[in-house]
Amino acid sequence: MLGKARKVSGRGEAVAANYAFGPAEDDIIIKHRLLTRTTTTRGEPPLKKLQKKFTSFVSEVDKQEDNYNDCEKLARAFLQELATFEIPLLKSKAIVEANIREKENFNELKDEINRQILQAQADIEDLKKQLEESKIERQHKEECEAIRKLIALQPPRSETQKLITELEKEIMALDAENTAGSRLLELRKKQFALLLHVVDELQNTIEEEQKNLIEEMRMATEELKNGMEDASGGSEAMAVD
């Protein structure tokens, strides 16, 4: 059990070591394996085996001996090895062509996805505009609804018209009353002016009469005084006689 665990741990360490290469080292190893047709680290590479078969065949042909059978065997072995080596190449070619097609399909899919992304972005912008327009329209509807409610709270048009007619009548009555009041005020102004004029005339007359009365009293006083003087003078004359 411990031995197996050690083997497993050793394989795990080997796997971890294989994945310890960087991207550049991995590319070099993969390229080398594709060129040499080496798919595993164990055994002899197929290309080297083919090279050995070809070298053996050429060496046998170069011999100046009657070795036709050996050359034929080596030729068949070389052709068999060549066919064996060609099969993975054909597979690799098919894989490469499939990868190229897959890449083209991927590029087409990528272009389609990019086109869909652009279309989705354009649709999002359109939806944003529609959302803003919907918000504005909803706001207008709410404002219209509020106005409608205010209008509904108001009395009917007939009642409003009746009230307007009554107010117009009251205004006309007030205008007539105002006109009458203005006329009465103007008349009162004229009467008051006439009263003031009469009062002035009366005051002037009274003052004139007072002056005349004072003058008459002064003249009467002087006449009385003169009469008394004349009477006293006569008495003195009679006493002298």
What pLDDT, in 10s, does the model give residues 179-220?
988 888 988 888 888 888 888 888 888 888 888 888 888 888
Query: Closest Cα to residue 103, out of 26, 116, 111?
Result: 111
Looking at the predicted structure, is the pLDDT value of residue 9 above 50?
no
Query: Which backbone phi and psi does 227 adopt, to 5 degrees?
Result: -65, -40
Written as six digits, the tokens of 49 are 């085996």
- pLDDT score of 6: 40
**Weakest mean pLDDT among 5-9, 58-62, 183-187, 223-227:** 5-9
Task: Output 185 or 41, whichever has higher pLDDT.
Answer: 185
pLDDT tens digits along 53-82: 778 777 777 776 677 777 788 788 878 878
Question: Which of the listed ranges 44-58, 173-187, 221-235 does the model predict with the highest average pLDDT?
Answer: 173-187
In this structure, the number of other CB atoms found within 10 A of the CB of residue 92 comes to: 13
Specify the 3-state DSSP secondary structure of 155: coil
The mean pLDDT value of the chain amounts to 79
User: Is the Cβ–Cβ distance between 35 and 73 less than 8 Å?
Assistant: no
What's the pLDDT band for 8 if we cut at 50, 70, 90?
very low
- pLDDT score of 33: 62
CA distances from 227 to 30, 56, 78, 234, 235 (A): 177, 205, 201, 11, 13
- pLDDT score of 127: 95
- pLDDT score of 36: 57
- pLDDT score of 5: 41
Specify the 3-state DSSP secondary structure of 66: coil
The DSSP annotation for 194-235 comes to: HHHHHHHHHHHHHHHHHHHHHHHHHHHHHHHHHHHHHHHHHH
Looking at the predicted structure, is the pLDDT value of residue 37 above 70?
no
- pLDDT score of 90: 84
Domain ranges for the chain: 24-105, 159-220
CA distance 125 to 137: 18
Looking at the predicted structure, is the pLDDT value of residue 11 above 90?
no
How many CA atoms does the CB half-sphere of 106 hold within 13 Å? 6
Stretch 143-155: mean pLDDT, rounded?
A: 87
Specify the 3-state DSSP secondary structure of 22: coil
Query: Closest Cα to residue 78, out of 44, 55, 59, 99?
Result: 55
